[in-house]
Amino acid sequence: MKILVAVKRVIDYNAKVRVKADNTDVDLNNTKMAINPFCEIAVEEAIRLKEAGSASEVIVVSIGPKACQEQIRTALALGADRGIQVETADYPESLNVAKLLAQVVRDEQPGLIIMGKQAIDSDNNQTGQMLSALLDMPQGTFASEVKLEGDKAQVTREVDGGLQTLSLNLPAIITTDLRLNEPRFASLPNIMKAKRKPLAVTSPETLGVELKQHSTLLKVTPPTERSAGILVNSVDELVEKLKNEAKVL
């Protein structure tokens, strides 16, 4: 069985995000980029399923400019078998990504699709659900545990009331939560091997997908800076400041 994993190139979560002076977008110049953390968890889960004998091949797909090949190679170094890049001028919005992924799925016919529940740049949490609708496949979102049993996937997901376990008929789509696993580090030998693993490049035109813009980015602004906290010497002083300065009492 093939497992298809979608990964996205985003700003490294340890890097400080800067907004362009004209507020048109985030400034990516000289900014460290990485695999979206939720996508990295998806790659790790796919590799673990392959190591357990539940899958024969792990395919990583990323959509975006040529630079996203760096993140595909990282996933290959972690243990994926081959990569696919759908080359676009920029990073498409969720619905376009879902349409492109749907066509890749139709071409590759994987038994399982795993992807991060959301990207830390757009934070939309939409693509997995849209892909499920386009392909008419069952979905298990926010997965904290995944088990494959024959032609079914048992997915434990965290909900407001506790844990919910779903039994999904394969092929299915799973989106990963933070508690699913802890991704491994790529070793130097595997990083070198990843350079020789196959990476195919395709385009929306080749896939027969027309990209349409459904939303417009109006403005990007940094979060409001908060004033520094202060230490108080007594409860009375705390109450006085809450009442007269913060005005919350």
Q: Give the CATH number, domain containing residue 210.
A: 3.40.50.620
249 domain-assigned: no
Q: How many CB atoms are located within 10 Å of the residue 97 CB? A: 26
Contact 4, 113 (CB under 8 A): yes
> pLDDT band at 17, cuts 50/70/90?
confident
pLDDT of residue 178: 92
Closest CA to 65 of 232, 204, 194: 204
Amino acid 222: pLDDT: 86
Kindly report the CA angle at 141 between 140 and 144, in degrees rounded to 5? 95
The distance of Cα 249 from the centroid of its chain, to the nearest Å, equals: 42
Strands 172-176 and 57-64: unpaired
pLDDT of amino acid 224: 82
pLDDT tens-digit readout, 148-202: 998 999 999 988 888 999 999 999 999 999 999 999 999 999 999 999 999 999 9
User: Looking at the 3D structure of the chain, how many domains does it have?
Assistant: 1
Answer for the pair 102, 133: CB distance below 8 angstroms, yes or no.
no
Nearest to 230 by CA among 207, 243, 246, 219: 246
* pLDDT at residue 214 greater than cutoff 90: no
pLDDT above 90 as % of the chain: 74
**Residue 30 pLDDT class (50, 70, 90 cuts):** confident
- What is the β-pairing status of strands 33-35 and 9-11? antiparallel
pLDDT at residue 249 tops 80: no
pLDDT of residue 62: 97
**pTM above threshold 0.85:** yes
Q: Is residue 170 part of a domain?
A: yes
Domain presence at residue 69: yes
Region 222-227 average pLDDT: 82
What pLDDT shows up at residue 248? 80
Strand order in the sheet with 57-64: 162-169, 152-159, 139-149, 172-176, 112-116, 2-7, 57-64, 82-87, 199-202
Q: Residue 141 carries which side chain, given as an amino acid letter? A: T
Measured CA to CA, the distance from residue 248 to residue 234 in angstroms comes to 18
The DSSP element (H or E) to which 85 belongs, if any, is strand 82-87
SS3 content of the chain, % helix, strand, coil (to 5): 30, 30, 40
Stretch 5-25: mean pLDDT, rounded?
91
The predicted-structure confidence for 118-138, as pLDDT tens digits, reads as follows 999 888 999 999 999 999 999
pLDDT score at 245: 84
CA distance 116 to 47: 15
Task: Provide the pLDDT confidence category of residue 46 given band limits of 50, 70 and 90.
Answer: very high
Mean pLDDT (the chain, rounded): 93
Helices (H), the chain: 37-51, 69-78, 94-108, 127-135, 188-194, 204-207, 235-244
How far apart are alpha carbons 128 and 118 in whole angstroms?
8
Predicted pLDDT of residue 28: 85
The answer to whether residue 14 is domain-embedded is yes
Confidence of residue 247 (pLDDT cuts 50, 70, 90): confident
Place of tokens 């004998």: 53
- Residue 200 lies in domain: 2-244
The string of pLDDT tens digits covering residues 69-91 is 999 999 999 999 999 999 998 88
- CA angle centred on 46, ends 51 and 44, rounded to 5°: 90
- The pLDDT of residue 166 is 95
